[in-house]
Structure 1
């Protein structure tokens, strides 16, 4: 079939249904009526001679054929978008645009303030939406274009996802001011004698620092497991418990508590934080600009 006989808008509908898993959500995403989406899906089914999506409960589940063609269709749509953006060059001073950025909540307090300062200064019509995205969904969202970029630790993603290191962060220990056993210094023996807080979104399992301790044949006593570092810092300020956490966020979260921030008492490597984007937008002027702002903000 020659491409001149194909309505290219059908592929946008196909990608939206695949990403959203729902005709209703696809219609909302594309700002089209559900009958229009259903009509486009019927045309796609006739074109490919395949149902493409099968309803299971409330979800539209893709067929093997749909799964085999989604990647080249996504690449083609993104390449076309990049081409159009190249014709209409991105001008941050005047362009109205919203970027979608995925990052963990622990990174928001350190990444977003300097990033928004730069955006407000250089791009008054640009908006930014930051959200938490499950790591298993990150590659799909970047490929679909529902995410422009992501910031996280090193992840096992495919070669379609490009990345660069933003910065390195150290592991630190937080103790309250006036702790009876700690006054500006901390050795491993003292660290292991204390009760500890583990901040984690997971309900069970050790923290990264526990893996490092196990390499040296030692372990600590975790008396409290909670979800957020900020809450843990407040507990630290009112108890003699210790908290181990990333250094950059420690300096932000403890400003109002006056807690001590001390080096982790083992020689462990700093951990890397990376910026991720899809290869399809590697040459997109708008995405390039966003990545530059993130890099400048992280190093500023």
Structure 2
């Protein structure tokens, strides 16, 4: 397909159609008539040799090609706007942009409540799509233009992926008080003797704690491996399991009398919790605005003294 055969305005219409999945709503969004949108949709179907929008019963769904086009198309249009200087005066209250962000349920618990509040107050027409993936999967989607931003722990990043530290996190152990020795101290011997609960999105049994133990010629036994941070604390209950997790996972958690939190009996270094994005978005005002809010809402409130 030759680029000269495409009216770039069609890409704007395509982006709106893939978002709205409705000709009339697309027309309202772009301030164009329904016949004009229908005409553009027909041209796009011919150019791309694909139906794009498919009616299934009472709803309209995207074709496979349309689904694959949606995220890269938004990224391209954002770059074009920045190139032409049209997004210099980004006004959150007037924006209809859709941001796709990847994070674990741990990140979601920290970021989303306050972020969504700010979006609804300042930019009610901006849409937020949140997905979950492994670290590698998040980076791949960043590079492919499928997502705008990822939040998590990324020890290694490609050269074209930028990062910003949101906060520094430490580890805490959660266990049943009855699983402690009579001394009430969680020493390393006890830690290694007890079975462990591990949070791993991809099922990998080697986390940061295991890397530290291996460097010392030691190993713990992971008895349960789960993919979600949010469910892990509730699984300790009356068991002999030890859960070693990021400290903020346990914020505002009602532990009760049976559970106790203690520092790990080994030196596990703090880690940076970051947001990452592709360098193509560095100068995009809307993207910078989103990144700034993610950073603000991630900051831990100062303790009241």
2:230 aligned with 1:223, yes or no? no
Q: CA deviation at 1:100?
A: 1.7
Q: Structure 1: how far apart are the matches of 2:167 and 2:293?
A: 14
Contact 1:143 1:278 in 2 (8 A): yes
Q: Structure 1: how far apart are the matches of 2:92 and 2:190?
A: 52
Answer with 105-114 or 94-103: which moved more: 94-103
**Partner SS, residue 230 of structure 2:** helix
Q: In the alignment, which residue of structure 2 is the partner of 1:40? A: 47
2:261 aligned with 1:255, yes or no? no
**Partner SS, residue 290 of structure 1:** helix
The number of aligned residues is: 261
Q: In the alignment, which residue of structure 2 is the partner of 1:82? A: 82
Q: In the alignment, which residue of structure 2 is the partner of 1:243? A: 243
Q: Structure 1: how far apart are the matches of 2:122 and 2:74?
A: 31
The TM-score normalised by the length of structure 1 is 0.70
Q: How does 1:14-93 map to 2 (within 5 A)?
A: 28=18, 36-41=43-48, 77-83=77-83, 86-87=86-87, 89-93=89-93
Q: Structure 1: how far apart are the matches of 2:87 and 2:285?
A: 10
Q: CA deviation at 1:238?
A: 1.9
Q: Structure 2: how far apart are the matches of 1:211 and 1:138?
A: 22
Q: Structure 1: how far apart are the matches of 2:244 and 2:84?
A: 48
Q: Structure 2: how far apart are the matches of 1:222 and 1:140?
A: 29
Contact 1:101 1:147 in 2 (8 A): yes
The TM-score normalised by the length of structure 2 is 0.69
Answer with 147-156 or 281-290: which moved more: 147-156
Q: In the alignment, which residue of structure 2 is the partner of 1:21? A: none
**Partner SS, residue 107 of structure 1:** helix
After superposition, give the CA deviation of every residue in 1:165-204 in whole Å (9 maximum; x if it has no partner).
2111111111124544378752212212222212223345
Q: Structure 1: how far apart are the matches of 2:278 and 2:20?
A: 21
What's the C-alpha RMSD, in Å, of the aligned pairs? 3.7
Q: Structure 2: how far apart are the matches of 1:209 and 1:249?
A: 16
2:155 aligned with 1:148, yes or no? no
**Partner SS, residue 237 of structure 1:** coil
Q: Structure 1: how far apart are the matches of 2:91 and 2:244?
A: 43
After superposition, give the CA deviation of every residue in 1:100-148 in whole Å (9 maximum; x if it has no partner).
2111222111121232233334334433221114544445543555422
2:108 aligned with 1:101, yes or no? no
After superposition, give the CA deviation of every residue in 1:271-291 in whole Å (9 maximum; x if it has no partner).
111211222221111111100
Q: Structure 2: how far apart are the matches of 1:183 and 1:251?
A: 26
Answer with 178-187 or 275-284: which moved more: 178-187
Q: Structure 2: how far apart are the matches of 1:182 and 1:247?
A: 25
Change (3 A) 1:214 1:143: closer
Q: Structure 1: how far apart are the matches of 2:286 and 2:181?
A: 52
Q: In the alignment, which residue of structure 2 is the partner of 1:48? A: none
